[in-house]
Amino acid sequence: MVQTAKPITAATGEAGEDRALRYLQARGLSVVIRNYRCKGGEIDLVMRDAAGALVFVEVRARVARSTQRFGGAAASVTPAKQRRLIAAAEDFLARQADDVPACRFDVITIDGARIEWMRDAFGAEA
């Protein structure tokens, strides 16, 4: 069986998630789960910060040439995408046995070589 290469978007996304994970771990966050999937959507990273809050992280990576054509990585976190992330976070929280800790939604954008961390990028009312 011959394996085919991943599409460039999947490879870029996976590399971006790896890079974002290392970036956040270097800043004191610990990983809870990667690529949480449910019927409502997917969360790239679920992390816990030093204060114990759950951090739902959306990673948006763009290669330099697509950044110019389609807008930056942050522009791709649309209100519809935010609603899917919120639905996935609600599903994740509903499956936890513990009390619900403080939570927030962060976005990591990777545009070429540049990485930016937007803490509390949007709220659950999006």
Q: Which domain holds residue 88?
A: 8-122
Q: Which CATH number goes with the domain that contains 44? A: 3.40.1350.10
Query: 51-89: per-residue pLDDT in tens?
Result: 999 999 999 987 655 444 455 555 668 889 999 999 999
Is 1 inside any structural domain? no
What is the domain count for the chain? 1
Is 21 inside any structural domain? yes
What the block records as the tokens of 29 is 């966050």
Is 68 inside any structural domain? yes
Is 2 inside any structural domain? no
CA distances to 1, 26, 94, 120 from 11, rounded to whole Å, are 21, 23, 31, 27
Contact call for residues 110 and 19 (beta carbons, < 8 A): yes
Give me the mean pLDDT over the 109-114 stretch: 86
pLDDT at 40: 82
